[in-house]
Amino acid sequence: MRFAKIFLSLLCVICLLIILPAYIFDRLSNWQVYFLAISYLLFFLATVWRTTKLGNLAKRSEDKQVKSRLGRAASFVGIFGLIGVHWLAIYESTNFSDNNFYVTNIVFTIIGTTLVFSAIIVNQVAVKTLGKFFDRLVIKDQHQLITSGIYSQIRHPIYTSYLLLFISFCTLLQSWFSLEFLAVVCFIWFGNRITIEEEMLTQEFGENYQTYQQETKRLLPLIY
């Protein structure tokens, strides 16, 4: 029953982000729409797996970002901004096939597809590495600092996977204005969320987390 409820919610999100704007802007004949819808489904199945196997996530009201006034504003920008990014990308894609050379389409298709699969893999690995500690921004009972596996390289691989997914969406649809819009939205939402999360973990784990920060990057190995 829990699986069915979560799965139905996931389908509704995919319809809102992809299927509905594709229908409105007459892009349902575009293969990228269906490929991206299926990719999003596969991506979020990691969250479905975690919830059905290990129990519900914490309440949204308990999330540290939601408890902060600035965090609530960043969340508002993130949620509605990402809806706008997806709708804009599909709207922009209405003419992309007419305005680009065939070779160019192939190049961006390869790049976008690679990013999609990378996002799914990173997300699946990160969620399963965290296990029950994959949750909203809360400190759980007997909370542990996970520094193994993919977390030995970067501190926020789940956010990395989201960025890869959203970038792949814009790339496959060759929607460059929406990609610029995405950069602004993610800078505000994830920037604020990462700051709050790292402050929370520093308060909980002290020097252990500070040492971990010095040994790893935030989102991209060896880069940032």
Query: Residue 7's pLDDT is what?
Result: 87
Evaluate whether residue 224 is within a structural domain: no
CATH number for the domain that contains residue 154 = 1.20.120.1630
Q: What is the pLDDT of residue 106?
A: 86
| Range 116-127 burial, b when 16+ CB lie within 10 A, else e | bebbbebbbbbb
Between the CA of residue 120 and those of 38, 42, 48, what are the distances in Å? Answer: 11, 7, 13
Q: Is residue 164 part of a domain?
A: yes
Assess if residue 220 is contained within a domain.
no
pTM (predicted TM-score): 0.93
Query: What residues contact residue 178 under an 8 Å CB cut-off, 6+ apart?
Result: 85, 86, 88, 89, 92, 170
Q: Per the structure, how many domains does the chain have?
A: 1
DSSP of the chain: -HHHHHHHHHHHHHIIIIIHHHHHTT-TT-HHHHHHHHHHHHHHHHHHHHHHHH-PPPPGGG-HHHHSHHHHHHHHHHHHHHHHHHHHHHHHGGGHHHHS-HHHHHHHHHHHHHHHHHHHHHHHHHHHHHGGG-SSS-PPTT-----SGGGGTBS-HHHHHHHHHHHHHHHHTT-HHHHHHHHHHHHHHHHHHHHHHHHHHHHHHTHHHHHHHHHSBSSSTTT-
Which residues partner with 154 through β-bridges? 217
From 192, 110, 200, 131, select the one nearest 159 (Cα to Cα): 192
In a domain, residue 222? The reply is: no
Position 104 scores a pLDDT of 64
Residue 223 inside a domain? The answer is no
In a domain, 172, yes or no: yes
pLDDT of residue 1: 66
By the 8 A CB rule, do 16 and 87 touch? no
Domain span at residue 98 reads: 2-215
Position 102 scores a pLDDT of 56
Report residue 130 as tokens: 């965290």
Instruction: Give the Cα separation of 165 and 39 in Å (integer).
Output: 9
Q: Which residues of the chain have pLDDT under 50?
A: 98
Q: What is the pLDDT of residues 75-118, one digit of tens each?
A: 999 999 999 999 999 998 865 554 555 556 888 999 999 999 99
Residue 34 lies in a domain: yes
